[in-house]
Each structure stands twice: as C-alpha cells, then as structure tokens.
Amino acid sequence: IGRAFREAEENRLHLHDLYGYFLNKFSGLDPEDSKWKGSVWNKLSTSECFVKRIEKVGGKPGGTWSVRHDYLESFRNGIFHSSTRKKKP
C-alpha cells in the first residue's frame, strides 16, 4: 500500500485505483476475489497512517485515501510499517 501511495500523484488514491495498482503489480491476484480487497480496505481504515477524504476524483464518488502528513517522510524513505491503530470512538 505504501508503495502505491509513493507512486501516486499528489499522495492520494481512490480505492478503485489502489486495487488497480495491486492488480498491475501482482499478476496472481484475482480481480474478482474480495478477500485481498477487504484486506487492503481493512489496513486503510484501521491504520493511523491513512486518512480518507470525501471528494470525487475523475467522476468517481466515495473519496480518496492518502497518507497522513505525520507519516509522509517515513513513506518517502520507504518505511511503510505502522503498528498504530485508529482509536475506536
């Protein structure tokens, strides 16, 4: 996920584009398999590294995901691991 954001313009990706990145990089993934997609979504939604912004990109509703400002430098340096979790309300 970190590498996808590193290669993204403006450090943001629509979830659909993130899935596309994985399909292009990893030939063994089944585009119809919801398990790996759920795993990506889970990491985005539970890690403090990522934030969702509600906005349309390329006419696609639902918003974009990006790396939080506090983690940008680590991601730029190739350090993608984060053990922190978002706190439940």
Helices (H), the chain: 2-7, 15-25, 34-46, 72-76
Residue 85 domain-assigned?
no
Residue 27 domain-assigned?
yes
Tens digits of pLDDT across the chain (89 residues): 888 988 888 888 988 899 999 999 998 999 999 999 999 999 998 888 899 988 776 676 678 899 888 888 888 787 776 655 655 55
Residue 72 domain-assigned?
yes
Residue 11 domain-assigned?
yes
Residue 82 domain-assigned?
no
Q: What is the residue range of 64's domain?
A: 2-76
Total tally of structural domains belonging to the chain: 1
Residue 66 domain-assigned?
yes
Reported pTM: 0.77
Q: What is the dihedral of CA 32, 14, 24, 74, to 10 degrees?
A: -130
CATH of the domain at 56: 1.10.10.10
